[in-house]
């Protein structure tokens, strides 16, 4: 929806076609035409792609094989193939120089790992789904072959960096964002304050990741800082929830940058106003946020149903109002 809205501001006119597995897709009304089909339906996706000049995705669980057959999907399929599976993702990240992943192992028949650790399903996880913190022998019942066991880091500060790689050969990035998660779900984002050397290491790693995956567009890398060590957590080959703050706090949003990347439009120098923050709105917050007046801008995703712990919108507001904005969600 936000990408479609950004496309309306491009310096030339575009027609927007949306493809989604749900008839009730949020983006549906933001486009000019709508295609409904599964994300592994090769035929449906191919005929959609044949109708348009440029294809972009902002959802990671599309078949890489299908995307690999589309010449006009400029983000490519390598990123999907590598990043859909946490094990391949971590092996790939560690194969590149620079910041490594949190120490991990693939769960096999006779695997051993020091507790506490986090067991994560290799595929289809989001917002902490498919994750278990393993602290004792009883918890081991959750650990299944094929999962990833990863060291549990007790005191983390979480960051993300959003970069954009342009088909014209250039790249750019926002300053690092600092993210707070509650129950493994992103809760708030603000601009981070982190030494310039660390920020440079994060940026270099993110660019290297995008280049090595032959990826164009916006890409996000999540990092953990724990006990003075930096780790990569995961990589998203798409616009990212933490980047929603850029809708108000930057001269160009992450959605603009994503489109500039794919159309080969020169990036302007990035200017940000660090006084903004972003607060996520989940299903259980929706009614309260709708009926109360808010010291910020509420972006309603227009979801047809509001489920507990599912993101249904976000608020961009001023950092000085952060506590108020968090509170407005509670009825």
List interacting residues with ligand ADP (CB under 6 A): 102, 118, 125-128, 150-153, 156, 158, 181, 184, 222, 233-234
Nearer CB in complex with ligand ADP: 131/168: 131
Tell me whether residue 183 or residue 305 sits nearer to ligand ADP (CB atom): 183
* Residue 149 C-beta: closest distance to ligand ADP, Å: 10
- DSSP state letters, 44-55: HHHHHHHT-S-B
**Least spacing, CB of residue 129 vs ligand ADP, in Å:** 6
Q: Which is nearer to ligand ADP, 89 or 256 (CB)?
A: 89
Given a contact cutoff of 8 angstroms between Cβ atoms, the answer to whether 33 and 7 are in contact is no
Which CB atom, from 126 or from 142, has the smaller least distance to ligand ADP?
126
Q: Report d(CA 258, CA 260) in Å as an integer.
A: 6
Beta bridge partners of 225: 157, 230
Between 58 and 222, CB nearer to ligand ADP = 222
Cβ neighbour number for residue 250 with a 10 Å cutoff: 19
Please report how close the Cβ of residue 216 comes to ligand ADP at its closest, in angstroms.
23
CA distance 161 to 203: 7
Contact 192, 177 (CB under 8 A): yes
CB of 29 to ligand ADP, least distance (A): 28
Burial class (CB in 10 A: 0-12, 13-18, 19+), 71: exposed
**Minimum gap (Å) between residue 185 Cβ and ligand ADP:** 8
d(Cα 135, Cα 60) in Å, to the nearest integer? 31
Q: Which residues pair with 186 in a beta bridge?
A: 181
> How open is the CA angle 170-175-176, to the nearest 5 degrees?
120
Would you state the structure tokens that stand for residue 289, as one six-digit string? 């946020």
Compute CA 43 distance to the chain's CA centroid, rounded to the nearest angstrom. 27
Residue found by looking up tokens 């989001």 in the block: 126
CA 120 – CA 106 distance, rounded (Å):
10
User: Cβ of residue 211: shortest distance to ligand ADP, in angstroms?
Assistant: 23
Selection from 89, 86, 44 nearest residue 63 by Cα: 44
Sort strands 311-318 and 157-165 into parallel, antiparallel or unpaired: unpaired
Q: Dihedral of CA 252/254/256/260: which sign?
A: positive
Which residue number, 106 or 156, has a Cβ lying nearer to ligand ADP? 156
Q: Identify which of residues 127 and 204 has a Cβ nearer to ligand ADP in the complex.
A: 127
Q: Least distance (Å) from ligand ADP to the CB of residue 58?
A: 15
CB of 290 to ligand ADP, least distance (A): 27
Closer CB to ligand ADP, 37 or 116, in the complex:
116
- Residue closer to ligand ADP, measured from CB, 31 or 243: 243
- Shortest distance, position 114 Cβ to ligand ADP, whole Å: 12
């Amino acid at each position: 929806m936000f990408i479609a809205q950004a496309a309306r501001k491009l310096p030339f006119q575009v027609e927007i076609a949306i493809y989604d597995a749900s008839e009730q897709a949020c983006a549906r009304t933001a486009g000019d035409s709508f295609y409904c089909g599964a994300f592994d339906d090769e035929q449906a996706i191919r005929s959609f792609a044949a109708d348009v000049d440029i294809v972009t995705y902002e959802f990671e669980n599309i078949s890489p094989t299908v995307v690999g057959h589309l010449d006009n999907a400029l983000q490519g399929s390598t990123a999907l193939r590598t990043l859909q599976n946490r094990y391949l993702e971590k092996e790939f990240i560690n194969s590149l120089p620079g910041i490594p992943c949190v120490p991990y192992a693939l769960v096999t028949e006779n695997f051993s790992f020091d507790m506490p650790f986090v067991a994560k399903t290799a595929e289809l996880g989001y917002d902490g789904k498919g994750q278990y913190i393993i602290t004792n022998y009883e918890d081991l019942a959750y650990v299944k072959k094929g999962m990833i066991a990863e060291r549990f880091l007790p005191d983390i500060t979480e960051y993300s960096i959003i970069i954009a790689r342009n088909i014209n050969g250039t790249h750019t990035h926002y300053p690092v964002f600092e993210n707070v998660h509650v129950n493994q779900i992103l809760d708030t984002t603000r601009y981070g304050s982190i030494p310039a050397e660390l920020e440079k290491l994060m940026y270099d790693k993110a660019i290297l990741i995008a280049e090595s995956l032959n990826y164009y567009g916006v890409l996000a890398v999540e990092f953990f800082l724990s006990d003075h060590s930096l780790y990569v957590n995961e990589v998203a080959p798409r616009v990212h929830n933490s980047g929603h703050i850029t809708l108000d706090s930057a001269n160009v949003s992450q959605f603009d940058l994503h489109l500039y990347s794919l159309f080969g439009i020169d990036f302007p120098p990035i200017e940000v106003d660090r006084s903004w923050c972003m607060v996520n709105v989940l299903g259980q917050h929706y009614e309260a946020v709708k009926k109360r007046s808010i010291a910020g801008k509420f972006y309603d995703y227009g979801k047809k149903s509001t489920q507990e712990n599912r993101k249904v919108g976000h608020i961009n507001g001023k950092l000085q109002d952060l506590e108020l904005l968090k509170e407005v969600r509670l009825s």
